[in-house]
Structure 1
């Protein structure tokens, strides 16, 4: 029986698809091989993980209106709250909760435009009502705090324009006004019915809500003191959620106990490393150090009411006679920068060509002798007629400033100036500076943001302000006044340069150094970036949303 022949048409129909499939597979294989040869794998940060840090105490509140820039609480409130404005690493104001602002031609009206879609940690929307509420708190004399703060804000009118626009009306032009708006904004819907005097005892001050990158999860209090604070990432943060899911801060009395906790694996970082502890930290290779100049300066204030300090040449001689680098090396383990201006390096207003003040004891002696201050035969202390060049130097009895003052006294003694160190326990400002009861005083002055010299060096602040040394100089006061009125940043910079030149010439006080702030973080924590200048210690945490411990891998094609 004959067999049926194979259908040639069907055979051809199967043959061509098989060829096509084969060619396609070969093409895909070639393409994949090409991609593999061109591709690479990179490691990128991933969300999750946690970071535990040892921080100094005591921590008493998490209310941003109740903390000062140098307080350890300020570092925590920076993570929880936002202001209308924040300061960049040069000390210039940039938008935070405010996207932008405008200034009227007369400089009396500032209009701020708020970010839309910002939410509090409980999900409620952030609006202009929160700004109004917070400013009215600051205007209240019942809110605990310095009385001058209430007086300042009472002079400013705050007006809502719409739900996302607010206007401030000032009694006189003030170019640095945006710098005053870095304080954390509080939620009106949570605190509207709380009297200002009761905020310190309200549960909010230990368990607040804010708009910041982290929200409070738990606070552990023992014997009336905060011992531990746990923060969790805010998924609704308007700049995007942070990488680290959880932050934990444990309060320790000193660096020694914090280092013990690090060695035991209880913490991964230490908020501040003081110069005396640097060697111990450097002995731990797994602990990385991060440093930046702090926007403050150590200075010896001189009481210009004393006849000893009325001549600029005497003040210049005292400045030239100090080996300030030696002070830094001996007492700060090198963690400082010699100060020649009240404006720190890195600040937008710093004079770029300011001459350094050298250590020149020979010139110091010559200046004193030219003004009639001579050492009598057989004596050791300079005299001018019946006057003896001898005075008291007040310093905090904190173990550091006292010994620093002793070395300063020793160096001045080498040029025939006798100084008696006066250790002050407790509040140096309240006991000595505010009542103007001192000859000279060793203090630290913080200048975050705009380095406005008005509070410390303007003649109107001699009696009741912070011009504790009673320095009066019309040239300097006029420069300061104009700098406050001028809104052009280039012109303001020129005026600040002129102020620094006059400061070196007239020597209102004796500048010593800018301190360097150092903190330590375990090598397993990545993404840490710190600028050259910290306006306040809290600035070290400005980039914490980019810190990470976890990574993931992804394929990239070159």
Structure 2
């Protein structure tokens, strides 16, 4: 019985309770009475897209696959809402003082959905599959596991040896583990095309019992190592477009859905028709950033960059991105590594421009040595992004900066303009990994080609902080280093972090057990699904 059935039949739940009381009374007075069966509860969500391969190795980038993989599979660790690694298949782990060897001890109560035991050899097999030459999954996944040696000396011990110490390695072990007894011996191509991905066997909180292009049905795993989930069944229904999903949600055909980014108005419209739902704003692991080309004059001057950064009114930007949050730090909250930083605003901009030597000319434009401060702002040609670029340009013009806006396809922006430093200002987005380490985006060694430091930010102090934070395994020391880096980032105006995006998750008002946290992937909304329950149906 789904939540939809209960909602559409308001007399059904009292009737069920009444039947149970009656059965109890009969059972007390007459030993031959048969109690009423307890109804099974099914929770129904909508998802945009269609399933292709339900596998932790191949699901990246397709939300239906990622959602299902999250529900079906488990890793050695699972990631908390602030990015902290927590025990999952592993009950404990140790790291050698040099940070290069990790030893994991598996729990003793681990079973695949087919009843076979989960063992350390399954972990070794999964990593070996990623390390195969010609691996068909994401290149970034293969790169992260390159050079890592894996041993399984006994059924419950897994040992990883790294080429060098890496503080971000632990979160890497969240990779869902595959069953060796069902997949061993497959070639790279056969693994990619295996029918296993349509009927996967995992060790996660739910097992997949039916899959079609339009829906997936999952039943709770009563042998789940964190405890049997309270919700008996989860059904995911797949829609080709966000508008169709939202219409189904408004009609009452769904119990909930994680709406796509930028659908705040649509969420409000659904809530008007569905008072039984509530909205939870989940922060996405990323930010919208105004890149400043540190390698091109006049933006090679930190003082000029500071004045540009101060010209931006982030609160005004929120009018174009309702539900989002204003930002300044290059580490996304509520990450364990995030520390709030303050940045100067428009009230200080004129003074900062003057301090950098830029003064208004006769026409009100800022000039230095007879040169007008004229900049181009480029962004990708998405309507929301262009509107944000126009507002940023207007804010800069109020300070006397001459600004032109150019919109190009995202592929051109990234491959031709950012990668080749062919811009002044660029509005785009940044998505860090699960670990908050920002080195790849802001260290001098990462200036393209081939790195991702497209702002050409070069600062020895920042480099030192980032290098030290990547080496140390002490979380407190890393947090302090990232706090110092964030302050330095803002002080040097390396670029300007503008907004932290959020996605609206519409769920039943009666849902309990949902904890807000970072969405590293959309499936992270299910990180505590085994604790989900519904008030009144416990």
Q: TM-score, normalization: structure 2?
A: 0.85
Say whether 1:343 aligns with 2:331.
yes
Match in the other structure for 1:105: 97
Alignment of 1:161-240 (within 5 A): 161-221=153-213, 227-240=214-227
What is aligned with 2:14? none
RMSD of the TM alignment (CA)? 2.5
Q: CA deviation at 1:78?
A: 0.9
Matched, 1:50 2:50: no
Q: Does 1:364 align with 2:352?
A: no
Corresponding residue for residue 403 of structure 1: 387
Contact 1:255 1:277 in 2 (8 A): no
For 2:157 and 2:530, how far apart are their aligned partners in 1? 27
Question: Counterparts of 2:268 and 2:128 in 1: how far apart (Å)?
Answer: 48
Q: Structure 1 pair 70/508, CA: closer, same or farther in 2 (3 Å)?
A: farther
Unaligned 5+ segments in structure 1 are 1-45, 222-226, 554-558
- Tell me by how many angstroms 1:47 deviates: 7.7
- Quick one: which of 231, 235, 247 aligns to 2:234? 247
CA deviations on 1:429-463 (whole Å, 9 max, x unpaired) are 44544454443322222345431111111111113
Cα deviation for residue 234 of structure 1 reads 1.7
Structure 1 match to 2:313: 323
Relative to 1, partners in 2 of residues 1:294 and 1:529: Cα closer, same or farther, differing over 3 Å? same
1:443-496 residue CA offsets vs partner (Å, 9 max, x unmatched):
222345431111111111113122122211111011111112222222222212
Asked whether the 8 Å contact 1:47–1:245 carries over to 2, the reply is no
Q: Which residue matches 2:266?
A: 277
Distance 1:340 1:230, change over 3 A: same
Aligned residue-pair number: 496
Q: SS where residue 43 of structure 2 aligns? A: strand
Call closer, same or farther: CA 1:59–1:320 in 2, change over 3 Å: farther
In the alignment, structure 1 residue 94 sits paired with structure 2 residue 86? yes
Could you say which residue in structure 2 is the equivalent of 1:150?
142
| Alignment partner of 1:332 is 2:321 | yes
Q: Deviations over 1:385-422 (max 9, x none)?
A: 47543333332323211211111111112112233333
**Could you say if the C-alpha distance between residues 137 and 418 of structure 1 is closer, same or farther in structure 2, counting changes exceeding 3 Å?**
farther
Task: Indicate how the Cα distance of structure 1 residues 422 and 207 shifts in structure 2: closer, same or farther if over 3 A, else same.
Answer: farther
Match of 1:493 in 2: 479
Comparing 428-437 and 296-305, the one that deviates more: 428-437
Identify if the C-alpha distance between structure 1 residues 61 and 385 changes in structure 2 by more than 3 Å, giving closer, same or farther. Answer: farther
Gaps of 5+ in 2: 1-37
Structure 1 outlier segments of 4+, above 6 Å: none
Q: What is the CA-CA distance between 1:372 and the residue it aligns to?
A: 2.8
Residue 455 of structure 2 corresponds to residue 469 of structure 1 = yes
* Structure 2 residue matching 1:283: 3-state secondary structure: helix
CA 1:551–1:281 in structure 2 vs 1: closer, same or farther (change >3 Å)?
closer
Distance 1:179 1:491 in 2: 17
Q: Specify whether residues 429 and 242 from structure 1 end up closer, same or farther in structure 2 by C-alpha distance, changes over 3 A only.
A: farther
Q: In the aligned structure 1, how far is the partner of 2:482 from the partner of 2:505?
A: 31
- The alpha-carbon deviation at position 267 of structure 1 amounts to 1.2
**Do 2:331 and 2:438's aligned partners in 1 also have CA atoms closer than 8 Å?**
no
Cα distance in structure 2, aligned partners of 1:396 and 1:265:
36
Distance 1:214 1:119 in 2: 12
Q: Distance in 2 between matches of 1:219 and 1:545?
A: 21
CA distance in 1, matches of 2:49, 2:390: 28
Cα pair 1:141 1:150 within 8 Å, conserved: no
Residue 159 (str. 1) matches residue 151 (str. 2): yes
CA distance in 2, matches of 1:549, 1:98: 29
Q: Quick one: which of 135, 139, 143 aligns to 2:131? A: 139
Tell me if 1:262 matches 2:246. no
Q: For the residues of structure 1 that align with 2:204 and 2:72, how far apart are their CA atoms?
A: 4
Matched residue, 1:508: 494
Residue 307 of structure 1 aligns to a residue whose secondary structure is coil
Evaluate the alpha carbon distance shift between residue 409 and residue 332 of structure 1 in structure 2; reply closer, same or farther with a 3 A threshold. Answer: same
CA contact (8 A) 1:276 1:332 kept: no
The CA distance in 2 between the partners of 1:197 and 1:259, in whole Å, is: 38
The alpha-carbon distance between structure 1 residues 373 and 205, as it changes in their structure 2 partners (threshold 3 A), is farther
- Do the aligned partners of residues 412 and 86 (structure 1) sit closer, same or farther apart at CA in structure 2, a change above 3 Å counting? same
Task: Report if the CA contact (8 A) 1:50-1:246 is conserved.
Answer: yes
**In structure 2, C-alpha distance between the alignment counterparts of 1:237 and 1:161, rounded to whole Å:** 25
Please, what TM-score do these two structures have when normalized by structure 1? 0.82
Q: Which residue of 2 aligns with 1:17?
A: none
Q: Could you say what secondary structure the match of 2:337 adopts?
A: coil
